[in-house]
Amino acid sequence: MNINYIAESELMRSDIALALREIISIPSLSTMEGAVAQFLIDTANRLGAIEASIDPAGTFISRFGNGKRTLIFDSHIDTVDVGDLEEWKRNPFDPFLEKSATGDIIHGRGASDNKAGIISMLFGASQWQRLNENQDFSIYVVGSVQEESCDGLALYEVLTGGLIPSPELVVLGEATTNKVYRGNRGRIEAYLRIHGQSCHASAPERGKNPITNIAPLITEIDRLNKSLKSDSFLGAGTVVVSKIECETPSLNAVPGSATLYVDRRLSMEETPESALQELRSIASSLNLNAEIEILQYESTSYTGLGLSQPKEFNTWVTDEDSVFVRAAIQSTQDTRRPSTETGHWVFSTNGVASMGKLGIPTIGYGPADEFHAHTAHDQCPVDDLVEAIAWYSSFPTKLAEVTK
């Protein structure tokens, strides 16, 4: 059957625009996603999902189709906070529709990261189920929690929790401006702590100020950016000192310790272990006895489940010649913006768990532009939503064809 996916998707333009505005209006910071998860359960049921529920961590899981092969469509449902409200033109949780010469645009926190993704996936999976009587797949649309705090944590729980069959592919809905993406750099979050000797600030010679030792450490860490390895696809790794703090009895005292926090992005052939060793080598070259470790993430989900893992995330890339990428590229022919190119995210995604940790092939396709993520200009064009419905509903059929 020859299906005009974009024409079918156009019939849902007003419905999906309304759904995105509704989900944006529900705040959902990490560990506080319960109301959004319930909204998604209600929406999935309305769209004909065979089942819809949450897992122990609070991640939303729905299923469309009854096929023997399993696909996962994943978008996270938490958002970062809004920051300085003065930067926003309007209340970030009162989404508005901007009429522009190039098309309608929906504004509000989470529009681009990542609520447009999860809504498009639901509508797309629903359309695929409705248009295809012979279903090769069971498609699980997953709305993972706590991604903004610890990427991959919740999706890893889904993939290893035994509630759904092991998938042959994970599709991420992070913003790609409706292009096919197939990787992102890994990363670590680490701390470097230097201990000194506290004393009264009126007699600093009696103590040892750790802040004095931190200054050259910062300089050397920053210099790493000039020598880090680069990859032809993902680009170079980076390192940033993201926070500095000290333990001191008062502002009239020499601190007892000082701590640097580092965000280190990892390109190909770089690992969390190699990045940590780089930091230790710098401290050793400066004759500093520094405590250097990867941070540990600890949280309690809105369901009450405790979660934890080290904040280390592997680099991942799915091969450009894989059948999954080929099918994804072919599916762009069913949208208004066909493309033969693939890209990668600058930021990190849940792919660090699916492909980076578990080796499950992973690709991405999502509405909106990652440039607007985490900004006061958070937005998604309605045209992107319609095209995403078309792609998500076309892709399973294309994948079935190329893997016959």
The answer, yes or no, to whether residue 134 has pLDDT greater than 90, is no
Q: State whether 202 and 322 are in the same domain.
A: no
pLDDT of residue 1: 59
The CATH number covering residue 286 comes to 3.30.70.360
- By DSSP bridging, strand 60-64 and strand 316-317 are unpaired
Tens digit of each residue's pLDDT (9 = 90 or more) over 80-110: 999 999 999 999 999 999 998 989 999 999 9
Cis peptide before 2 (omega within 30 of 0): no
Residue ending a domain, among 241, 276, 300, is 300
Residue ending a domain, among 300, 331, 354, is 300
The mean pLDDT of 242-263, rounded to a whole number, is 97
The answer, yes or no, to whether residue 148 has pLDDT greater than 70, is yes
Q: State whether 180 and 190 are in the same domain.
A: no
Residue ending a domain, among 255, 274, 300, is 300
Catalytic-residue membership of 133: no
Determine if the pTM surpasses 0.85.
yes
Provide the number of structural domains found in the chain: 2
SS3 breakdown of the chain: % helix, strand, coil, rounded to 5?
35, 25, 40
Tens digit of each residue's pLDDT (9 = 90 or more) over 322-362: 999 999 999 999 999 999 999 999 999 999 999 999 999 99
| 208: containing domain | 186-300
Question: What's the mean pLDDT when you consider all of the chain?
Answer: 97
Q: State whether 270 and 346 are in the same domain.
A: no
Q: Is residue 382 a part of any domain in this protein?
A: yes
Token pair for residue 220? Answer: 């050397």
Q: State whether 24 and 144 are in the same domain.
A: yes
Nearest of 37, 102, 124 to residue 367 by alpha carbon? 124
Cα distances (Å, whole numbers) of residue 259 to 5, 204, 217, 262, 386: 54, 20, 11, 10, 48
Q: State whether 333 and 280 are in the same domain.
A: no
Tens digit of each residue's pLDDT (9 = 90 or more) over 182-193: 999 999 999 999
Q: State whether 81 and 196 are in the same domain.
A: no
pLDDT band at 385 (very low <50, low <70, confident <90, very high): very high
Q: Please give the backbone phi and psi of residue 284, each rounded to the nearest 5 degrees, phi first.
A: -65, -40
List, in sequence order, every residue forming a beta bridge with 69; answer none if it has no partner: 137
Q: Is residue 308 a part of any domain in this protein?
A: no
pLDDT of residue 275: 98
Q: Please give the backbone phi and psi of residue 346, each rounded to the nearest 5 degrees, phi first.
A: -75, -40
Q: Is residue 234 a part of any domain in this protein?
A: yes
The mean pLDDT of 282-305, rounded to a whole number, is 97
Q: Single out the catalytic residue among 33, 55, 78, 384.
A: 78
Q: Is residue 309 a part of any domain in this protein?
A: no
Rounded Cα distance, 354 and 140, in Å:
14
List, in sequence order, every residue forming a beta bridge with 54; answer none if it has no partner: 60
The mean pLDDT of 23-32, rounded to a whole number, is 99
Q: State whether 30 and 177 are in the same domain.
A: yes
Q: Is residue 378 a part of any domain in this protein?
A: yes
Q: Single out the catalytic residue among 55, 147, 312, 334.
A: 147
Q: State whether 87 and 206 are in the same domain.
A: no
Q: State whether 139 and 197 are in the same domain.
A: no
Catalytic-residue membership of 78: yes
